[in-house]
Structure 1
């Protein structure tokens, strides 16, 4: 029954190696916990109870891997051109001049977001607004260059 524990250890190593533990959902965590319980039960001499848990976890993760490997179809969003009022509001928020380049926009964004980031005591709404302003200005500048 030690081979079942090795199989579980291999599964855990595979999950870490592929980076799936970083984006694990609650369901993935519950299945991994069930696999751990199954491995412990199988190692303690109760393979009739532990083996189904291990096999079920292996099948779940195998099916998850197949579902994630399929390419997803995404609807193409048509590019929208920002209007002048939105651009001027974004420039005022970031404090950049109308002739500023992408490097200046990114520098202003970094400077401003450092002071209002949620980790520094700011709000998520303000940080999202600042990020949106940066994205809008960069998209506007890219559109002007084309």
Structure 2
């Protein structure tokens, strides 16, 4: 059980190091914490308390993996015309712009307003959302 505790601690360190922990939800973090506490308790000679925590966390992650692999239940909703028009105005592209032109306009605009260059995260998020919306709209045509 001590090896399992070290393995889980190594997993947590790897998740932090690679930046994957930033994309985890609060539930994922709590399940990872429960698994670590369960492994430590089991390693310290209290498997009656530690084992349920480990098993519960394992079931949680298996359930999460299965839920992410299933296709979404809701069909894709086509973007509204006014949303598409606002996105085109924000990126400054013509109504007949292709995917290459949309991506080029996005790159040009995001380079000047990126948070690393002194811009705001909110504006960068709007520009990214506009690009995604226009590309999705183009795929539906």
Conservation of the 8 A alpha-carbon contact between 2:4 and 2:39: no
Query: TM-score scaled by structure 2?
Result: 0.66
Match of 1:31 among 34, 39, 43: 34
The answer to which structure has the higher helix fraction is 2
Asked if 1:76 is matched to 2:79, the reply is: no
Q: What runs of 5+ residues in structure 1 fail to find an aligned partner?
A: none
In the alignment, what sits opposite 2:59?
Answer: 63
Instruction: Please provide the CA RMSD for this pair.
Output: 3.3
In the alignment, what sits opposite 1:87?
Answer: 84
Query: TM-score scaled by structure 1?
Result: 0.64
Q: Matches of residues 1-146 of structure 1 in structure 2 within 5 Å?
A: 4-12=1-9, 22=21, 23=24, 25-35=28-38, 37-38=40-41, 42=44, 47=45, 50-71=46-67, 74-83=72-81, 85-144=82-141
Change (3 A) 1:70 1:86: closer
SS at 2:3's partner residue?
Answer: helix
* Alignment size in residue pairs: 131
Q: Quote the Cα distance in structure 2 between the aligned partners of 1:73 and 1:99.
A: 31
- Pairwise CA distance, 1:119: 4.0
Change (3 A) 1:121 1:53: farther
Q: Quote the Cα distance in structure 2 between the aligned partners of 1:67 and 1:129.
A: 33
- Pairwise CA distance, 1:5: 0.5
Q: Max radius of gyration: which structure?
A: 1
Q: What runs of 5+ residues in structure 2 fail to find an aligned partner?
A: none
